[in-house]
Structure 1
Amino acid sequence: MIEAHSFKGRKVAVFGMGMSGLAAARSLIAGGAETMVWDDGEKGRDAAVAAGLPVRDLREIDWRALDSLVLAPGVPLTHPEPHWTVKLAEANGVEIIGDTEIFFRERRRVGANCPVIAITGTNGKSTTTALSNHLLNAAGRASVCGGNIGRAVLDLPPFVDGQHYVLELSSFQLDLTPSLDPDAGILLNITPDHIDRHGSLEGYAAVKEKLFANMTGGGTAVIGADDALCDAIAARAEARGVRTLRISSTKPVATGIYGEGSGLFELADGALQNRASLSGIGSLRGAHNAQNAAAALAATRSLGLPWATLVEGLQSFPGLAHRMQEIRRIGHVLFVNDSKATNADAAERALLSFTNIYWIAGGKPKAGGIEPLAPFFPRIKKAYLIGVAAEEFAQTIGGRVPVSMARTLDRAVAEAAADAAAQGSGEDAVVLLSPACASYDQYPNFEIRGDAFRAAVEALSAPPAKEKAA
């Protein structure tokens, strides 16, 4: 645990008793802060009581005496309306921060040589975070990852010289970290997401740009060049004198790394260098993973890792659970868990990576639905629709792809497995869970949804086959 000694003697309220809120409260108490915690939900309050934390209704305190409000990242800060704690804090001049802000303040206080890579973007964050951490560890560096993936940042090991941190940061976390200053910052891409939280696509992009707000000549900005919003952010970073590397999976870049086919290339010393190949690395299948790999390589290279070591690390990357995760193969049928694809843009990346797809989709729909995926419908043999979105998705698909209203994931897996097996072994088939939806209608989160898919697939004992009509 990282103890927040920079808050010693200060009076701090922590709202939101999820993973990050509980960790923040423990860190503050260990560091000597006068801490009180609260949650709107009984479940959260019970979790705080079970952890031995000082629970107190924040409606009943004197906000003028507070120094800081530590807000859980999922609590509305500005849109659609500020949470009541935010309104009280603003009315009384209390700073509003998140657990990641405590992390960076404590890092500065300790002064240890602890390189940090911070990663954001609409899609690809988790894979890039896991890959960057893997590359550092494979090179013999002590490295851990956390934030919006795995462990809360304040539950990571304390700051000591040589310890590396790779942090996945959502837009919610960026909004609450005003003094963020990573050694390398990665912005992968920006597509419409969380508009209800940020008010507009432009507002969402402005929050993402905060990753580089405090970056000076000593830091490295690694920014995707495949969308206009990111390109503009890269130009502004360069104009401020920040070392900026662009990454792309669609086109060459003058400074940075780009993917072409299975190769990753860099223009160095006036010549084009073929730095690595993703061919045969199943955990990095698809063009989107070329961008993820390019980003991880650029960031870790900026910390001094040699190319030979990085290329070797790529080969041993095991992949990320719930993101293009190959579960098993039964005969000619491959089962892939892409439960983390909670929007159409993420699902597009999976659909681009395969042909002959038996697609399981649906859940709690997001704005825009799946109409943007229409160009990829020819890759789909049949769609198995689940959850609240089933009717909406069936209407969007129309007659362009055969549809089964499976409704539930276990039924979808059984039907898709049988259909894929029945097509014959002349061509490989893929049963792909890539929902293009949130999970909340049927599962608490995408991880549990992915685990349910894995369990259903592992329960298949033999290549299932449908009886053929006589």
Structure 2
Amino acid sequence: MIPVGVFRDQSVAVFGLGGSGFITAQALVAGGASVYVWDDNEHAREKARAAGLRIENLASVDWRGFSALVLSPGVPLTHPAPHWTVVKAREAGVEVIGDIELFCRERRRIAPDAPLIAITGTNGKSTTTALIAHLFATLGFDVQIGGNIGTPILALEPPSSERVHVVECSSYQIDLAPSLDPTVGVLLNVTPDHLDRHGTMENYAAIKARLVSAADHAVIGVDDAFCAAIAKKLRAEGHDVIGVSAAGMLEGDGVVFEGGALYWRGGRRLDLIADLSGVGSLRGAHNGQNAAASVAVLHAIGLDGAGLAKGLRSFAGLAHRMEEVGKYGKALLVNDSKATNADAAEKALLSFDNIFWILGGRAKQGGIESLKPLFGKIAKGYLIGEASHDFAKTIGDAFPVAFCQTLENALPLAARDAIESARAEPVVLLSPACASFDQFPDFEKRGDRFCEIARALIKAY
């Protein structure tokens, strides 16, 4: 854990006692702050009380005594309306920040030169975060990985000049980190998501842009219009920007993914970095962009060479993101539970053919309309969860579907259909294009259940 000393001998309010909030409160106490915590969930309060934290109903305290409100990233800051704690804090002139901001301030206080790599994007950020950390580790660095990828940032080891922190940042976390200033900031892409929390695409993109705007070096994917505009603006302002592309959209120097390989492009010259052919964990153009961004990060801080190619080939991949669980007869079973929207599911559909597709859950805005051009790759669909009937209407007669209700029904049926089909190299793919919350608490639990069923099927085959 990182003791946060920037609020020593000051009073701080913490709202939200989930994974990051609980650790945040403990880190502030360890740093010498007087911390008052609250959560609307009684179980969370009891856990905090058992850990010795001071429980205080923040609805009935004098907010003028607080130096800051540390807000859980899952709590609305602006949209659809500011949370009541945010209203009270602003009325009292109290700043509202998050755990990423606390880390940044502590880093500046104790180790301002400590390497910090921060990654964001609508899709691909977890894979890229894991890959960057893996590359640093293969080169012998002391690496800490956390943030939105799973481990709260303040649960990591403290920053030092000999230690690299690789941190995934959601838009919610960036919005609560006004002084986020990484050594290298990575912005992969911006597509519609979380508009209920940010209001408009323009506001959402502007929040994402903050991460790279204050970075010493900015690595930006330029394959969508929002990110291309952000890269162009930062270059015009004199920022150090390395562009990355998997769609031939790069203007100027940078890293490109073409024909299954990564190249450094300088002027008209292409220098091979690594051939990714046969690297299953980095299958598809979207992973080509993720890999391009990862090597661009190391290039930005002066690390190049053969070690990068070796590190890319040894990357095991990320759980729940195009995770190859195993073979059931001739069928490959793939867990892509992290595909919680259509844009993420598109990446998986583009990466395979002869797909027996398990989809559904709680639909995001737009459903699967944008995936219609890829319906020709689908052998059959297996619908689960709340979105089943709406998705069936979108699919129409493009491919046959089965209404399965649950994953437990869908996976055995899809596996049987796949091995009984005449199709070569069939793929049973869970890529739901939906949130999991109708049937599972999170996409991890959904993916874990897929893997559990898949391994039982494989064992019994």
TM-score of the superposed pair, with normalisation by structure 2: 0.98
For the Cα contact (< 8 Å) 1:421–1:463, is it kept in 2?
no
For the Cα contact (< 8 Å) 2:115–2:161, is it kept in 1?
no
For the Cα contact (< 8 Å) 2:223–2:249, is it kept in 1?
no
Which one-letter code corresponds to 2:395 in the other structure?
Answer: I
Residue 291 of structure 2 aligns with which residue?
Answer: 293
Residue 147 of structure 2 aligns with which residue?
Answer: 147
Which one-letter code corresponds to 1:370 in the other structure?
Answer: I
Residue 281 of structure 1 aligns with which residue?
Answer: 279
Aligned-residue sequence identity (percent) comes to 54
Q: CA deviation at 1:269?
A: 6.7
Give, in whole Å, the separation in 2 of the partners of 1:390 and 1:214. 43
5+ unaligned residues in a row in structure 1: which ranges?
465-470
Residue 36 of structure 1 aligns with which residue?
Answer: 36
Q: CA deviation at 1:339?
A: 0.2
Give, in whole Å, the separation in 2 of the partners of 1:279 and 1:235. 31
Which one-letter code corresponds to 1:368 in the other structure?
Answer: G
Alignment of 1:388-403 (within 5 A): 388-403=386-401
- Please say if 1:369 is aligned against 2:367: yes
The number of residues matched between the two structures is 460
Q: CA deviation at 1:270?
A: 5.3
**Secondary structure of 1:7 counterpart:** coil
**Secondary structure of 1:5 counterpart:** coil
RMSD of aligned alpha carbons: 1.2
**Secondary structure of 1:229 counterpart:** helix
Which one-letter code corresponds to 1:138 in the other structure?
Answer: T
- Please say if 1:118 is aligned against 2:118: yes
Alignment of 1:61-100 (within 5 A): 61-100=61-100
For the Cα contact (< 8 Å) 1:121–1:190, is it kept in 2?
yes
- Please say if 1:449 is aligned against 2:446: yes
1:220 alignment partner, one of 202, 217, 221: 217
For the Cα contact (< 8 Å) 1:365–1:436, is it kept in 2?
yes
Residue 106 of structure 2 aligns with which residue?
Answer: 106
Q: CA deviation at 1:23?
A: 0.9
Which one-letter code corresponds to 1:163 in the other structure?
Answer: R
Alignment of 1:142-291 (within 5 A): 142-215=142-215, 219-251=216-248, 253=250, 254-268=252-266, 271-291=269-289
**Secondary structure of 1:149 counterpart:** coil
Give, in whole Å, the separation in 2 of the partners of 1:396 and 1:437. 14
For the Cα contact (< 8 Å) 2:256–2:265, is it kept in 1?
no
Q: Which runs of 4+ in 1 moved over 4 A?
A: 461-464
For the Cα contact (< 8 Å) 1:330–1:463, is it kept in 2?
no
Q: CA deviation at 1:263?
A: 1.1
5+ unaligned residues in a row in structure 2: which ranges?
none
Give, in whole Å, the separation in 2 of the partners of 1:462 and 1:14. 47
TM-score of the superposed pair, with normalisation by structure 1: 0.96
Task: Indicate the larger mover: 119-128 or 1-10.
Answer: 1-10
Structure 1 residues 462 and 155 mapped into 2: Cα distance closer, same or farther (>3 Å)?
A: closer
Give, in whole Å, the separation in 1 of the partners of 2:15 and 2:140. 38
Q: Which deviations, in whole Å up to 9, do the C-alpha atoms of 1:11-47 show, x marking residues without a partner?
A: 1000000111011101100000010100112232123
Give, in whole Å, the separation in 2 of the partners of 1:99 and 1:339. 27
For the Cα contact (< 8 Å) 1:139–1:305, is it kept in 2?
no
Give, in whole Å, the separation in 2 of the partners of 1:105 and 1:112. 9
Residue 423 of structure 1 aligns with which residue?
Answer: 421
Give, in whole Å, the separation in 2 of the partners of 1:87 and 1:156. 31
Q: Which deviations, in whole Å up to 9, do the C-alpha atoms of 1:208-239 show, x marking residues without a partner?
A: 01113323xxx110111111110111111112
Give, in whole Å, the separation in 2 of the partners of 1:311 and 1:461. 32
Which one-letter code corresponds to 2:224 in the other structure?
Answer: D
**Secondary structure of 2:227 counterpart:** helix
Task: Indicate the larger mover: 186-195 or 306-315.
Answer: 306-315
1:355 alignment partner, one of 349, 353, 356: 353
**Secondary structure of 1:17 counterpart:** coil
Structure 1 residues 269 and 199 mapped into 2: Cα distance closer, same or farther (>3 Å)?
A: closer
For the Cα contact (< 8 Å) 1:113–1:163, is it kept in 2?
no
